[in-house]
Every structure is written in structure tokens, then in C-alpha cells.
Amino acid sequence: MNSQLEVPLPAVPVSVRKARETVAAIATRLGASPQVVDDARLCVSEAASNVVRHAYRNGRGDLMLTVASNDTELMVVVRDDGVGLADFRRDGDLGYGLRIIDELALRSGISSAPNSGTEMRMVFALA
């Protein structure tokens, strides 16, 4: 990846908007089509919303947004250090938000472990 930006945010509802706007601005600046900008914005919103809703039992924690790019792709990672996902299986346990990400991103992946947090990676085509 040619460039990378990391943005730590508190896991609160207003951070979902901040993450979404940050990714949309970067994708636009990199020349992504309006459709890709919209897709990235929606996917980041879904991933960040999951962090805010599910990651931290006590309601306090961080959401880390990482945005990286090269000449042809934009990679976005939304990660937390929260409770993680127990008994998660990709082939049947996807919620609506994760299904949207699977459909709109060029590639996506999720990794999680109980009490170790969750990481959602999404790649979008710039060209």
C-alpha cells in the first residue's frame, strides 16, 4: 500500500459518522467513482456501527479506523479490542450489515476471537 492513515475513535454513535465521512473523503480524493464512494461509505458505516453496538460490554472502548491505498485499491480496516465474536461462522451467522459488506466490497474478511476484539477488512477498487 502506498499510503496509510490510522484514526482512533471512541466507540460511540457519533464516531460512525466520522468514520464514514473520513473514508468517503479519502476515496473521493483518490478518484474513486461515486458508486465506490457510496459503497465504501455504507460498508464502513455498517462495520463501525457493529463496534459501537456490540464490541464493549461496559460501553467504553475504541474503534480503530485504518485506511490504506495503492494505485488500484482502497483498503479499510475497522477494528476493536472488545469482547469478540463467540461461535462465529462465516457461512450462516452473518448479520445484515456483514452481508452488505460481503456484497459491496471487492474483497472482505473478518477475524475475531472471544475477548480479543474483531477486525473487519474491506477492499474497494479505485480504477
CA gyration radius for the chain?
A: 14
Q: How high is the pLDDT of residue 2? A: 73
CATH number at residue 81: 3.30.565.10
Q: How high is the pLDDT of residue 94? A: 52
DSSP assignment of 3-63 equals: EEEEEEEESSHHHHHHHHHHHHHHHHHTT--HHHHHHHHHHHHHHHHHIIIII-TTS--EE
pTM, to two decimals = 0.90
Q: In total, how many domains does the chain have?
A: 1
Q: How high is the pLDDT of residue 72? A: 94
What 3-state DSSP class applies to 5? Answer: strand
- Give the CA dihedral 79, 115, 88, 121, nearest 10 degrees: 10
Q: How high is the pLDDT of residue 88? A: 54
- Domain, as residue range, for 41: 3-125
The one-digit pLDDT tens for each residue of the chain (127 residues) are 677 899 999 999 999 999 999 999 999 999 999 999 999 999 999 999 999 998 998 878 999 999 999 999 999 999 999 999 865 554 445 578 889 999 999 999 999 988 899 999 999 999 7
Q: How high is the pLDDT of residue 82? A: 94
Could you give the CA distance from residue 34 to residue 124 in angstroms, rounded to a whole number?
A: 12
